[in-house]
């Protein structure tokens, strides 16, 4: 039994720290579609649920699409995530597999859209770079990093579920980074921002003028 690390907080701290809940999805055509729900209170992650949907080999592709859509819709209804993060199509796949995987991603995106939840796509390399520090990390290394990030006592199984959790963590990292960048920009006094914008505009005008002169010559 995988047990998340103890997580405690007070009612007052919850009000001060923004909550972020992300549903990560690792879509698959023939194999298992992994999913993982991670909640952040501030910078502290907490695992809410993970798993993988594995259908019988005899199941038709239409049935797979229906079951995956129903799974994502149920998870969205239960956890009300702030975002759905999906792994994008791997470009090295053959055309037939890539097209089918795009259809699987389509039903995931549809379930998110039906609940008016924003969806974000990340390539396998982006996810690995965000979680493991480099884009060529192995599946075992990714499991190790996800286990460490979520404070688990065991590797999340199957690997498809670990991949989905990695996608969720990747989005959370990107979202927090954008928040910090926005906060740093808004923290700059208005006068300095105005002078910076004015300087940038003047520099752009000089560059345009220089380019015009060069074109005339």
Strands 119-122 and 33-41 come out as unpaired
Q: How many CB atoms lie within 10 A of CB 105?
A: 19
Strands 19-26 and 83-87 come out as parallel
Rounded to whole angstroms, how far apart are CA atoms 74 and 115? 11
Active site annotation includes 82:
no
Rounded to whole angstroms, how far apart are CA atoms 192 and 78? 46
Q: How many CB atoms lie within 10 A of CB 141?
A: 15
Active site annotation includes 163:
no
Active site annotation includes 67:
no
**Residue tagged active-site, from 78, 103, 154, 160:** 160
**Residue tagged active-site, from 67, 70, 82, 87:** 87
Cis peptide before 158 (omega within 30 of 0): yes
**Residue tagged active-site, from 26, 39, 82, 163:** 26
Cβ contacts of residue 135 below 8 Å, gap of 6+?
A: 124, 125, 126, 128, 129
Q: Which positions are annotated as active-site residues? A: 26, 87, 160
């Amino acid at each position: 039994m995988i047990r998340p690390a103890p997580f405690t907080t007070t009612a007052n701290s919850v009000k001060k720290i923004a909550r972020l809940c992300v549903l990560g999805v690792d879509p698959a055509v023939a194999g298992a579609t992994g999913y993982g729900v991670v909640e952040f209170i501030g910078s502290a992650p907490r695992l809410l649920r993970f798993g993988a949907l594995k259908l019988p080999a005899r199941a038709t592709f239409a049935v797979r699409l229906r079951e995956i859509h129903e799974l994502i819709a149920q998870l969205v209804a239960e956890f009300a995530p702030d975002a759905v993060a999906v792994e994008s199509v791997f470009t090295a796949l053959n055309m037939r597999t890539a097209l089918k995987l795009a259809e699987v991603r389509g039903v995931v995106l549809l379930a998110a859209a039906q609940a008016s939840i924003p969806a974000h796509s990340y390539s396998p390399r982006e996810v690995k770079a965000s979680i493991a520090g480099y884009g060529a990390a192995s599946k075992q290394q990714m499991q190790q990093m996800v286990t460490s990030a979520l404070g688990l006592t065991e590797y999340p199984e199957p690997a498809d579920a670990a991949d989905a959790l990695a996608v969720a963590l990747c989005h959370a990292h990107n979202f927090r980074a954008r928040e910090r960048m926005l906060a740093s920009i808004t923290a700059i006094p208005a006068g300095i921002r105005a002078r910076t914008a004015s300087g940038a505009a003047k520099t752009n005008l000089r560059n345009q003028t220089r380019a015009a002169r060069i074109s005339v010559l």
